Amino acid sequence: MSSTRGELRHVMLGSIFKPEVPLGPTWDILVTCHASVSGKGKLHGDPECRTLRSAASVYQIDIPFGEAMERLCANCRWPLSTDSAILPIGAAVSEVDSLTIWLDREPEGEEDIEAERDAAIALTTGDYPPHADDASGEEEDDEAARDEEWDRYDRARNLRSGRHEHWRRLHSYLVRSNEAVSEYPFLAPWADGLQTRLTAVLDAERRAFAALLRPAHLLEAAAVHALPAPQFRDDPGFAGLEADTEKTFRRAWYEWSRRAIWSWSRLEDQDFSVYSVVSDAFGRRRKGKPEAHTAFRQLTADWIRQAREEAGRPASAPWQLLAIKAPALPRTRHSEPERDTLTLWEASVIATYQVAFNRKAATTALLVPHLIAEQLLSCASDNMPVQRLTPDGNALPVEMLLEQWDHGRPTRS
């Protein structure tokens, strides 16, 4: 072991390696420990550990890691060479052991369950309260009731976002634990029980997230993806835009369709993106601005109508069975925000249409409408492989088909 401090890592071995953790090739590695002369009690990495202060004297011993493990002090740090085989295996053990923080949590109370139910009901109409003239029985001058309704939708959106983020985080923990076990297969017997239990928690979270989603919104988003870019047609309401008319038209379609395609919300909830494009085009000018906003609102309504017609068209192809491997959340440093590479629409489709899940590979089988299948296949990548799962005439159970899927092969079929 090197004596240079810069070449050492100080690791809490007793905290990372529990007695039930398999050690594999690290069993026979000698670790330097400190103990009281009685030879009883814990083994320590630091001769100055406070639990040794009462000892008459302390001696040093080199002992095989496997023999020492059950006696390791959980508060000490052991100086290990940076090339020690214990370090990478300890990192893998930590990945698996981190699953325990999501297990055995208190069940939700009746108040939380009722809040979820109310959120699901609210979100059926969209992300925001219906306009006053669309909400039957609502008094327009009842400002307090209106504020409460806005608060209700805020809570609903926050619940959905929280469920989405928690489901994705659980999935990422499972993926990383799989990678650790793949690197060190001797960990599998210990990891299996934890991973199986986490999979049940993961599925419960997926179902709770899916209950706050509307499949119709996801299908309409896929219908927008299938629409051709609209041809520019002049309109008297565009007059105030002058030479920027066609450019604004193109940008409005791009912003609206991009947001609609990758969202879990209803199409009308993307209208503000068009409003922003038109407002930016006018800048400080006011002449013709109200007329342009009116014209673009009608234009957006036409796009929504076309998308809904496409979504409601009799299916030219049956529902598709797809296999997909969703990526884990990218690792971040402490306090850095998580940046999910999976769009809200992709996450929502996976949560809503899952029919099977392979825990060991973290792959999912989806049964989806044709339009959704086409959009998923179009965005397949090495980071998120997607493939049709059923060759003609194959009658194997979907779980077996998913288990046989080689997601390292080309992503489209």
- The CA distance from 326 to 385, in Å, is 8
The per-residue pLDDT for 132 is 60
Residue 234's contacts (CB-CB under 8 Å, 6 or more residues apart) are: 245
- The CA distance from 412 to 376, in Å, is 10
- The CA distance from 281 to 64, in Å, is 72
Residue 68's contacts (CB-CB under 8 Å, 6 or more residues apart) are: 31, 33, 43
Q: If we measure between CA atoms, which residue out of 131, 96, 134, 135 comes closest to residue 17?
A: 96
24: left (phi over 0), alpha (psi -120 to 50) or beta: left
Q: Are 174 and 198 in contact (CB under 8 A)?
A: yes
First to last CA, the chain: 53
pLDDT in tens, the chain (413 residues): 344 445 889 999 999 999 999 999 999 999 999 998 877 789 999 988 988 877 778 889 999 999 999 999 999 999 999 999 999 999 999 999 999 999 988 888 899 999 999 999 999 989 999 876 544 445 555 788 888 999 999 999 999 999 999 999 999 999 999 999 999 999 999 999 999 999 999 999 999 999 999 999 999 999 999 999 999 988 999 999 989 999 999 999 999 999 999 999 999 999 999 999 999 999 988 999 999 999 999 999 999 999 999 999 887 788 999 999 999 999 887 777 778 999 999 999 999 999 999 999 999 999 999 999 999 999 899 999 999 987 666 778 999 999 999 887 655 44
- The CA distance from 413 to 410, in Å, is 8
The per-residue pLDDT for 7 is 84
Q: Are 249 and 193 in contact (CB under 8 A)?
A: no
What is the largest distance, in Å, between two alpha-carbon atoms of the chain?
96
- The CA distance from 243 to 127, in Å, is 35
The per-residue pLDDT for 316 is 72
The encoded tokens of residue 72 equal 């390791």
The phi, psi pair for 320, rounded to 5°, reads: -110, 140
Q: Are 160 and 86 in contact (CB under 8 A)?
A: no
CA distances from 31 to 1, 42, 266 (A): 10, 14, 60
Q: Which residues pair with 375 in a beta bridge?
A: none
CA distances from 271 to 305, 325, 351 (A): 13, 32, 26
pTM above 0.85, yes or no: yes
What's the sign of the alpha-carbon dihedral 346, 348, 353, 357?
positive
The per-residue pLDDT for 6 is 55
The encoded tokens of residue 276 equal 């922003």
Query: How big is the chain by its Cα radius of gyration, in Å?
Result: 29
CA distances from 179 to 191, 197, 380, 407 (A): 11, 17, 21, 15
The per-residue pLDDT for 4 is 45
Q: If we measure between CA atoms, which residue out of 344, 235, 370 comes closest to residue 296?
A: 235
